[in-house]
């Protein structure tokens, strides 16, 4: 029991959605004795979850599935309607894009404010202050009021504060999706460092790839219930299939996901029932050029993925997508026909389309691919996880995972080392 | 294992880590303990609040003195010069009452709006939120100190000597006032999250409340002389701020009977120190009970702050 960092015991959270909410005393008085019409909405229903110390857990779910509410309950920002959460150790959270800042204060003052809210003394904050500023890269702006910060700067400061307050438990909601790519990289590096140091991390994300690459365990929430819990790959699969089963109208483009804070009114508006999915897969195969007597392809061969689909209604502007992953489920590439610039209309009946990967740049390894069908607006019609696997063998002697055309040339040679280093210093 | 390989020292498990429970409601006793543990945070928030308030003004902290100085000047002109109430050294009499009233009013007013004003923090960080209301009262106390210094200057300039024997009574009244303001601020700060016009309503209520206190007029001369014969003075004392104001006046203004327009007139109750102490203790007791009730109510209302803001 003692090694549990977070113990969520049967937590439920109810929100009262009031129709035409009377948000002032005046309105209450005007509307007199009539009781407000309210509707109960359960954001969480009897969710139990144990996170051991040092574990990294990813929470997956669609918008409105209760992910953010769960994190808020864990952080203690929201109180559950029933059940309770036990949190052992210091917790720092980044809820919905950023830490809690007082917009009238400067970045510097907000760092101290946040520190004292987390129970640190001024001296303790003094010690980490420089690290925070370094990490956030906001040296020039640190004495400016945060209301003048851009959203990127806001998130950077928030992340820097949270990770430098030496928390035992780090709770991150969606923040890894914002900021520029370099900063994202830096954040993920820091998360990895936290993992090595044995800290506990809870991560809410829409990005299945992030769960796969960072987490030890994934849980899937749907309509406020915990529907799956397990290996990250397994959780991701269930999450994707869950989306499918619901015919969920949700963009599947993980990498360019734009965070939308979950709000009760975004729920249940975009569900597409099974029967209304107009285009579905029939089969997916692949072939490769070159020596077809061996069960693997060689680097430099061409790979063709043949997709057979069936349209039940005439559907215009269908987008097919392709994702290639390596053996540890890292996404290597994602593209779709709209990116490639191929317009596909699907009249009723069976159709065939091809994806061709020319001159395979991958070196050795086992790879898999997934395919999807969606509307241009991102409504997912069908998705096939692990649609096929293929093995690549590299006939050359280069090692690693990717073929690059590398040239080598001698610029100068001889005894004069000074010259040689000068030559090296010259930009190539 | 991986940690060692990467050359990073695994952190030693932290000793004495506390377990925090997030439950539907937090009991009053636990809240009081957490408040005590967060006392450093309160002082920090008080500093922050003062900083935020006067951040963008050149005059800075002096600005905070302008409003009280203005009301003091106006009441003095109206009641002493225009209406000629004849109370000698009226400015001291006035200042004594206003000193306490300003503390009370400022604490209640800013405290009511504070949870909404600090929504950015309340939505993201978990901490005992009633601290925000207490910090508002805390900053009211800081402004009280500034005003008290100005009052001392007035006393010296006007060669007036307060009744130092009543200083403990004044301090008792001050404590009672702070507890009362805290109780109201804690309750209303939570209510204001759900009913946003509480903030505006309380302004109106406070204006009426001000005139129901013997600050710009004398209790003994105006109230006791009228209600006393009918035995209705107790109605006036339903206002818990009244004894506190009287205690301040008794200590600072010091004289109970003064010549008004050449006639010796009682301006303050002639009762002894015990009378003041008894009343102030009564107010303190009621305020403390109300404070606990306010905490319990806050506890119930707090659960949905993050959603309502």
Q: What is the 3-state secondary structure (H, E, C) of A198-265?
A: CCEEEEECCCHHHHHHHCCEEEEEECCEEEEEECHHHHHHHHHHHHHHCCECCCCCCCCCCCCCCCHH
* Yes or no, beta carbons of A168 and B17 under 8 Å apart: yes
In chain B, whose CA is at the least distance from the CA of A53? B13
**Chain A residues with beta carbon closer than 8 angstroms to that of B10:** 196-198
Contact A295, A262 (CB under 8 A): no
In chain B, whose CA is at the least distance from the CA of A197? B10
pLDDT band at A22 (very low <50, low <70, confident <90, very high): low
* pLDDT over 70 percentage in chain B: 92
Task: Name the CA radius of gyration of chain A, rounded.
Answer: 26
A211-256 pLDDT, tens digit each = 777 888 889 888 888 888 888 777 877 777 676 555 443 333 333 3
Please determine, for residue A27, whether its predicted confidence score (pLDDT) is greater than 80: no
CA distances to A28, A32, A88, B61, B187 from B197, in Å: 11, 16, 39, 28, 14
Q: Computed from CA positions of residues B182, B183, B185, B186, in that sequence, does the dihedral angle turn out positive or negative?
A: positive
pLDDT band at A151 (very low <50, low <70, confident <90, very high): confident
How many other CB atoms are found less than 10 A from the CB of residue B48? 22
Sequential DSSP letters for B14-36: PTTPPEEEE-S---HHHHHHHHH
Chosen from A71, A90, A102, A124 to mutate, greatest number of chain B CBs within 10 A: A102
**Chain A residues with beta carbon closer than 8 angstroms to that of B40:** 116, 121
Q: Which residues of B196-223 are buried (b: 16+ CB within 10 A; e: fewer)?
A: bebbebbeeebeebbeebbbbbbbbbeb
pLDDT band at A385 (very low <50, low <70, confident <90, very high): confident
Residue A243: per-residue pLDDT? 65
Of B13, B52, B305, the CB nearest to A105: B52
* Yes or no, beta carbons of A76 and B120 under 8 Å apart: no
Of A78, A89, A98, the CB nearest to B306: A78
**Chain B residues with beta carbon closer than 8 angstroms to that of A114:** 125
**Chain B residues with beta carbon closer than 8 angstroms to that of A122:** 44
**Chain B residues with beta carbon closer than 8 angstroms to that of A199:** 11
* Yes or no, beta carbons of A197 and B306 under 8 Å apart: no
Residue B7: per-residue pLDDT? 39
Closest by CA position to B266, among listed B282, B283, B246, B236: B246
* Yes or no, beta carbons of A80 and B24 under 8 Å apart: yes
**Chain A residues with beta carbon closer than 8 angstroms to that of B14:** 89-90, 168
Of B21, B40, B121, the CB nearest to A86: B21
Please determine, for residue B19, whether its predicted confidence score (pLDDT) is greater than 80: no
pLDDT band at B27 (very low <50, low <70, confident <90, very high): confident
Task: Tell me, yes or no, whether A353 lies in a domain.
Answer: yes
Residue A418: per-residue pLDDT? 55
A102-134 pLDDT, tens digit each = 888 888 988 988 888 877 888 889 999 999 999
H or E segment to which residue B252 belongs: helix B241-252
In chain A, whose CA is at the least distance from the CA of B198? A25
Task: Tell me, yes or no, whether A177 lies in a domain.
Answer: no
H or E segment to which residue A322 belongs: strand A315-326
In chain A, whose CA is at the least distance from the CA of B19? A88
What is the nearest CA distance from B110 to chain A, expressed in angstroms?
16
Token pair belonging to B253: 């203004």
Give the domain range for residue A311.
276-393
ipTM of model? 0.77
What is the nearest CA distance from A254 to chain B, expressed in angstroms?
25
B189-241 pLDDT, tens digit each = 999 998 888 999 999 999 999 999 999 888 888 888 888 788 888 888 899 99
* CA pair distance B161, B156, nearest whole angstrom: 8
Residue A128: per-residue pLDDT? 92
Residue range B67-87: mean pLDDT, rounded: 84
Tell me which of A420-424, B237-241, B245-249 is least confident.
A420-424
pLDDT band at A31 (very low <50, low <70, confident <90, very high): low
Q: Which residues contact B225 (CB under 8 A, 6 or more apart)?
A: none
**Chain A residues with beta carbon closer than 8 angstroms to that of B195:** 23-25, 28
Of A84, A96, A103, the CB nearest to B21: A84
What is the nearest CA distance from A258 to chain B, expressed in angstroms?
20
Residue A2: per-residue pLDDT? 54
Residue range B136-149: mean pLDDT, rounded: 91
Task: Tell me, yes or no, whether A319 lies in a domain.
Answer: yes
B94-121 pLDDT, tens digit each = 999 999 999 999 999 999 999 998 888 8
In chain B, whose CA is at the least distance from the CA of A84? B23
Please determine, for residue B148, whether its predicted confidence score (pLDDT) is greater than 70: yes
Name the more confident of A133 and A426: A133
Residue B37: per-residue pLDDT? 83
CATH assignment at residue A358 = 2.70.50.60
Helices and strands (H and E) in chain A: how many: 10, 18
Residue range A151-179: mean pLDDT, rounded: 81
Residue B158: per-residue pLDDT? 87
Of B201, B304, B307, the CB nearest to A25: B201
Q: How many domains does chain A have?
A: 1
Mean pLDDT of chain B: 86
Task: Tell me, yes or no, whether A386 lies in a domain.
Answer: yes
* Yes or no, beta carbons of A23 and B24 under 8 Å apart: no
Angle between helix B241-252 and B167-194 (nearest 10): 150
| Length of chain B counted residue by residue | 309
In chain A, whose CA is at the least distance from the CA of B131? A117
Please determine, for residue A405, whether its predicted confidence score (pLDDT) is greater than 80: yes
What is the nearest CA distance from A301 to chain B, expressed in angstroms?
37
Residue A200: per-residue pLDDT? 92
Token pair belonging to B130: 């009633």
* Yes or no, beta carbons of A25 and B21 under 8 Å apart: no
* CA pair distance B259, B276, nearest whole angstrom: 23
At residue A305, φ and ψ (nearest 5 deg) are -100, 125
* CA pair distance A36, B31, nearest whole angstrom: 32
Please determine, for residue B295, whether its predicted confidence score (pLDDT) is greater than 90: yes
Residue A404 exposed, middle or buried by CB count within 10 Å (0-12, 13-18, 19+): exposed
**Chain B residues with beta carbon closer than 8 angstroms to that of A202:** none
Residue B9: per-residue pLDDT? 44
Residue B113: per-residue pLDDT? 93
What is the nearest CA distance from B44 to chain A, expressed in angstroms?
8
Residue A180 exposed, middle or buried by CB count within 10 Å (0-12, 13-18, 19+): exposed
A371-380 pLDDT, tens digit each = 999 888 777 8
Residue A307: per-residue pLDDT? 92
Residue A256: per-residue pLDDT? 30
In chain B, whose CA is at the least distance from the CA of A16? B304
In chain A, whose CA is at the least distance from the CA of B9? A197
Task: Tell me, yes or no, whether A324 lies in a domain.
Answer: yes
Token pair belonging to A254: 């993980």
Strands of A91-94's sheet in order across: A91-94, A169-173, A200-204, A56-60, A217-222, A225-230
Residue A97: per-residue pLDDT? 56
Name the more confident of B177 and A172: B177
In chain A, whose CA is at the least distance from the CA of B197? A24
* Yes or no, beta carbons of A119 and B41 under 8 Å apart: yes
Mean pLDDT of chain A: 79
Domain boundaries of chain B, sorted by first residue: 38-308
Residue with tokens 């290597």: A332
* Yes or no, beta carbons of A99 and B125 under 8 Å apart: yes
């Amino acid at each position: 029991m003692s090694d549990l960092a977070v113990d969520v015991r049967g937590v439920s959270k109810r929100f009262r959605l009031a129709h035409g909410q009377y948000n002032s005393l005046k309105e209450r008085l005007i509307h007199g004795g009539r009781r407000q019409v309210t509707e109960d909405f359960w954001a969480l229903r009897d969710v139990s979850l144990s996170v051991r110390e040092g574990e990294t857990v990813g929470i997956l779910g669609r918008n409105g599935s209760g992910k953010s509410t769960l994190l808020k309950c864990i952080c203690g920002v929201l109180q559950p309607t029933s059940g309770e959460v036990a949190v052992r150790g210091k917790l720092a959270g980044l809820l919905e894009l950023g830490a809690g800042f007082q917009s009238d204060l400067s970045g510097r003052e907000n760092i101290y404010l946040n520190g004292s809210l987390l129970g640190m003394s001024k001296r303790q904050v003094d010690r980490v202050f420089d690290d925070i500023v370094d990490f956030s890269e906001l040296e020039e702006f640190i004495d400016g009021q945060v209301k003048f910060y851009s959203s990127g700067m806001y998130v950077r400061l928030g992340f820097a504060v949270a990770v430098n307050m030496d928390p035992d438990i780090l709770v991150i909601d969606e923040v890894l999706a914002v900021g520029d790519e370099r900063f994202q990289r830096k954040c993920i590096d820091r998360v990895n460092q936290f993992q090595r140091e044995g800290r506990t991390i809870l991560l809410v994300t829409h990005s299945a790839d992030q769960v796969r690459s960072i987490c030890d365990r994934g849980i899937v929430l749907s309509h406020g219930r915990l529907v799956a819990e397990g290996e990250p790959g397994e959780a991701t699969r269930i999450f994707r299939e869950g989306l499918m089963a619901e015919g969920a109208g949700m963009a599947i483009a993980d990498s360019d996901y734009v965070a939308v804070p979950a709000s009760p009114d975004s729920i249940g508006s975009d569900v597409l029932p099974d029967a209304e999915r107009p285009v579905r897969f029939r089969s997916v195969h692949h072939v490769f050029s070159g020596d077809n007597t061996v069960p693997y392809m060689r680097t430099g061969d061409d790979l063709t993925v043949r997709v057979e689909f069936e349209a039940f209604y005439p559907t215009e502007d269908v987008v097919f997508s392709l994702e290639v992953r390596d053996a540890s489920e890292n996404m290597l590439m994602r593209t779709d026909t709209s990116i490639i610039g191929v317009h596909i209309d699907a009249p009723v009946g069976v159709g065939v389309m091809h994806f061709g990967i020319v001159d395979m740049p991958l070196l050795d390894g086992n790879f898999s691919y997934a395919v999807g069908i969606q509307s241009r607006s991102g409504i997912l019609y069908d998705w096939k996880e692990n649609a096929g696997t293929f093995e690549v063998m590299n006939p050359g002697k280069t090692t690693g995972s990717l073929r690059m055309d590398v040239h080598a040339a001698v610029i100068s040679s001889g005894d004069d080392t000074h010259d040689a280093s000068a030559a090296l210093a010259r930009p190539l | 294992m991986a940690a060692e390989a990467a050359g990073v020292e695994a952190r030693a498990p932290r000793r004495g880590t506390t377990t925090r429970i997030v439950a539907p409601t937090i009991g009053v006793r636990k809240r009081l303990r957490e408040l005590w543990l967060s006392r450093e945070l309160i002082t920090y928030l008080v500093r922050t609040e003062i900083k935020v308030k006067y951040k963008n003004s050149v005059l800075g902290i002096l600005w905070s003195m302008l409003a009280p100085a203005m009301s003091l000047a106006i009441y003095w002109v109206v009641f002493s010069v225009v209406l000629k109430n004849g109370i000698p050294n009226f400015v001291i009499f006035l200042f004594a009452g206003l000193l306490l009233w300003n503390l009370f009013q400022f604490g209640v007013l800013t405290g009511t709006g504070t949870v909404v004003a600090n929504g950015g923090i309340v939505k993201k960080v978990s901490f005992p939120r009633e601290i925000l209301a207490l910090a508002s009262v805390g900053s009211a106390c800081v402004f009280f100190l500034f005003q008290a210094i100005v009052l001392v200057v007035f006393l010296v300039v006007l060669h007036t000597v307060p009744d130092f024997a009543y200083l403990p009574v004044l301090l008792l009244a001050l404590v009672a006032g702070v507890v009362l303001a805290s109780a109201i601020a804690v309750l209303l700060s939570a209510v204001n999250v759900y009913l946003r016009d509480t903030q505006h309503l309380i302004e109106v209520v406070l204006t009426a409340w001000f005139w129901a206190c013997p600050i710009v007029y004398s209790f003994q001369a105006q109230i006791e002389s009228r209600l006393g014969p009918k035995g209705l003075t107790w109605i006036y004392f339903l206002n818990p701020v009244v004894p506190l104001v009287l205690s301040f006046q008794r200590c600072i203004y010091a004289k109970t009977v003064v010549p008004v327009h050449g006639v010796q007139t009682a301006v303050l109750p002639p009762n002894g120190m015990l009378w003041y102490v008894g009343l102030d203790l009564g107010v303190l007791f009621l305020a403390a009970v109300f404070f606990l009730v306010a905490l319990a109510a806050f506890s119930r209302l707090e659960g949905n702050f993050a959603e309502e803001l």
